[in-house]
Amino acid sequence: MGIHLIVDLLGVRPERISRVKPVKDILEKAVRESGLNTITASFHQFEPYGVSAVYLLRESHLSVHTWPEYGYVALDIFACGDDESALKAYEILIEELKPEVVEKKVLKRDLYEKVKEPITPRACPL
């Protein structure tokens, strides 16, 4: 099914993650250069600072939540199919955000290999 990266970034400079514009520029670069495909993206600016961003991708999703006052970014990338695009997006985000500390968890979403046949959905009774 794919790869799911759950990442905590610490020690990120606050000016890189306080406002939507710099966060959006970094995320757009990561999505574009990694080969991921955006369906839609949504951004929220918190006051006085902080950003949440979610990309709905053809491959699945990418989300970022920032706490500039702590230099902290919570990053989530889930991509179905080829792992390379998700890993490339991750590498670009690390290069751009320049965290002092990275804590990464990688989940392989591969339960489909354990299923012999596709499950046919049943109609719900009314």
Which H helix or E strand runs over 62?
strand 60-67
Q: Which domains does the chain have, with CATH numbers?
A: 2-111 (3.60.90.10)
Q: What is the pLDDT of residues 24-58, one digit of tens each?
A: 999 999 999 999 999 999 999 999 999 999 999 99
Is residue 75 within 8 Å of 9, Cβ to Cβ?
A: yes
- Mean pLDDT, residues 80-84 taken together: 87
Report the distance separating Cα 44 and Cα 51, nearest Å: 6
Q: Is 65 a catalytic residue?
A: yes
- pLDDT, position 126: 47
- To the query of whether residue 42 is one of the catalytic residues in this protein, the response is no
- The single residue of 44, 65, 85, 124 carrying the catalytic annotation is 65
Q: 110 pLDDT exceeds 80?
A: no
The structure's pTM equals 0.85
Catalytic residue among 18, 34, 60, 85: 60
Q: What's the pLDDT score for residue 108?
A: 86
Mean pLDDT for 50-70 is 97
Q: Which of 52, 61, 63, 80 is catalytic?
A: 80
Residues in the chain, total: 126
How many percent of the chain have pLDDT more than 90?
Answer: 80
